[in-house]
A and B are shown apart, each in its own frame.
Chain A
């Protein structure tokens, strides 16, 4: 790979990283509004408020950047970056078309898994370093939640890796067949639920719980740093949705896959993102004990059963 090509790929990932979360965010504004019988933002930008998030970004940039005096200065300031950058890394490895991924590494599945787990560390750092009891409580809750939901994600992905016989996302998607839609369905559902929880989205947003914890781990954050956390959440949705689209829904497989494959991947990913938004609108927040129950009594057993099923399938050569 020449230097120019590397720079080009890096730039394209950065562009995708800046555009796709905004797209998802705007979709959330609109979908959520319509699901609640509202219109959502209508003014910024003229046509149906398309520039709302850009305007929000400008607003965030203008705001003062405050670090509390008692805060653990460097940890506090680094936390948003720790939350945000791993998703950039993860996005770089997700293939949207045969041969079209910014970096095509052999073990990209493991890389994505590792990167998304690091993202959650940002919340922990923020909660610990803020010197604020709400933030600390949010951080503790986040820790409990991330420990619980990391496991189902790993198990669900392990099942896919077994089925495709590879640890590379590209190879896995090439191995995908429509039959997987049924065969890997339980694991897929587990992954969707766990991904929502990993992103601390409603209905799994106890660490933030703005009604009881004043925005949880992000309580002390202002301006751009707060915006980075929000951006990390949306980038996380993009990464998780694309991952689901690539692994469970077959990525670029579909009509005209030779030329329009990348569009299929993006469309499927967007569909999953809308599903994530839909879930947010439809369901109330879980209680802490319900959250743990769901993870340990439902998701982990189902994921294990899926692993068993996949193992049987691979051995029998389905």
Chain B
């Protein structure tokens, strides 16, 4: 008679549940309350995408298709170098293969992919689950705003960098000589030719005061 208490407990539990109101969410009639980070569908913010292919490479199912080509942007200044830019031709995710692991979203360095909580995109034909660029872009509208930062959290890197007091203002050769306001220009580090005097070793460099050498000014 050892199992008797358990048997009675089972009966009592089920009877009690039957007498309580049910907690069924009647889904098609009542919209479900989804948690903020639900993984419904992946949205693409096309402007941010650089076609770097990181997402496609990391996707365990290889269900991301990216085609891109390079376009040349002519130099803006006289004698400057032409630049090249990736242009996205096709970006598609096959949701019949996707396992919603979220790796693509994690690895995207440019915040071009986002989770949208929309999940009602079932199709009759499997092939229709291949969402092309425009459809993926359309999901962007339903992406919730990112959650606010924690109060005590460190500032985002770009804001911290912008607010940092200018360093080395007034020093010879200092690139931040423009009064310390505004973002500092990054200092270009280039290899010194052997034997030449160190530029910051007391005597001012020959081009002190002139704007820092840019890529346009080719070194000899």
CB-nearest residue of chain B to A39: B24
Set A37, A39, A42, A283: member contacting B17, Cβ < 8 A = A37
Q: Is the CB of A37 within 8 A of B10?
A: no
Give complex CA distance A36, B10 in Å: 12
Knowing A34-B17, A37-B17 touch, does A283 contact B7 (C-beta < 8 A)? yes
Chain B residues within an 8 Å CB radius of A282: 7, 10-11, 13-14
Flag B82-109 by CB within 8 Å of A: 1 or 0 each: 0000000000000000000000000000
Residue A278, interface by CB 8 Å: yes
Chain B residues within an 8 Å CB radius of A31: 18
Give complex CA distance A9, B7 in Å: 42
Give complex CA distance A282, B8 in Å: 9
Chain B residues within an 8 Å CB radius of A36: 14, 17
Report the minimal beta-carbon distance from A213 to chain B, rounded to whole angstroms: 24
CB-nearest residue of chain B to A42: B26
Chain A residues within an 8 Å CB radius of B11: 278-279, 282
Chain B residues within an 8 Å CB radius of A34: 17-18, 22
Residue A16, interface by CB 8 Å: no
Residue A27, interface by CB 8 Å: no
Q: Is the CB of A37 within 8 A of B15?
A: no
Kindly identify, within residues 15 to 33 of chain A, every residue whose CB is under 8 Å from any CB belonging to chain B: 31, 33
Q: Is the CB of B14 within 8 A of A35?
A: yes
Flag A109-148 by CB within 8 Å of B: 1 or 0 each: 0000000000000000000000000000000000000000
Set A35, A42, A283: member contacting B15, Cβ < 8 A = A35
Main secondary structure of the interface of A (DSSP, over half): helix
Residue B152, interface by CB 8 Å: no
Residue A69, interface by CB 8 Å: no
Report the minimal beta-carbon distance from B201 to chain A, rounded to whole angstroms: 80
Chain A residues within an 8 Å CB radius of B10: 282-283
Q: Is the CB of B24 within 8 A of A35?
A: no
Q: Is the CB of B18 within 8 A of A35?
A: yes
Q: Is the CB of B22 within 8 A of A281?
A: no
Give complex CA distance A281, B13 in Å: 10
Residue A63, interface by CB 8 Å: no
CB-nearest residue of chain A to B16: A35
Q: Is the CB of A278 within 8 A of B15?
A: yes
Report the minimal beta-carbon distance from A55 to chain B, rounded to whole angstroms: 17
Q: Is the CB of B14 within 8 A of A281?
A: yes
Residue B192, interface by CB 8 Å: no
CB-nearest residue of chain B to A33: B22
Chain A residues within an 8 Å CB radius of B24: 37-39
CB-nearest residue of chain B to A34: B18
Report the minimal beta-carbon distance from A276 to chain B, rounded to whole angstroms: 13
Give complex CA distance A83, B10 in Å: 31
Q: Is the CB of B14 within 8 A of A278?
A: yes
CB-nearest residue of chain A to B13: A282
Report the minimal beta-carbon distance from A8 to chain B, rounded to whole angstroms: 39
Report the minimal beta-carbon distance from A96 to chain B, rounded to whole angstroms: 28
Report the minimal beta-carbon distance from B16 to chain A, rounded to whole angstroms: 9
Chain A residues within an 8 Å CB radius of B22: 33-34, 37-39
CB-nearest residue of chain B to A290: B3
Give complex CA distance A242, B10 in Å: 25
Chain B residues within an 8 Å CB radius of A279: 11
Q: Which 7 A-B pairs have the closest CB atoms?
A: A282-B10, A35-B14, A34-B18, A35-B18, A282-B14, A39-B24, A282-B11
Q: Please give 19 more A-B residue pairs, beta carbons under 8 A apart, in addition to A37-B23, A282-B14.
A: A31-B18, A33-B22, A34-B22, A35-B15, A35-B17, A35-B18, A37-B17, A37-B20, A37-B22, A37-B24, A39-B24, A39-B26, A42-B26, A278-B15, A281-B14, A282-B7, A282-B10, A282-B13, A283-B7
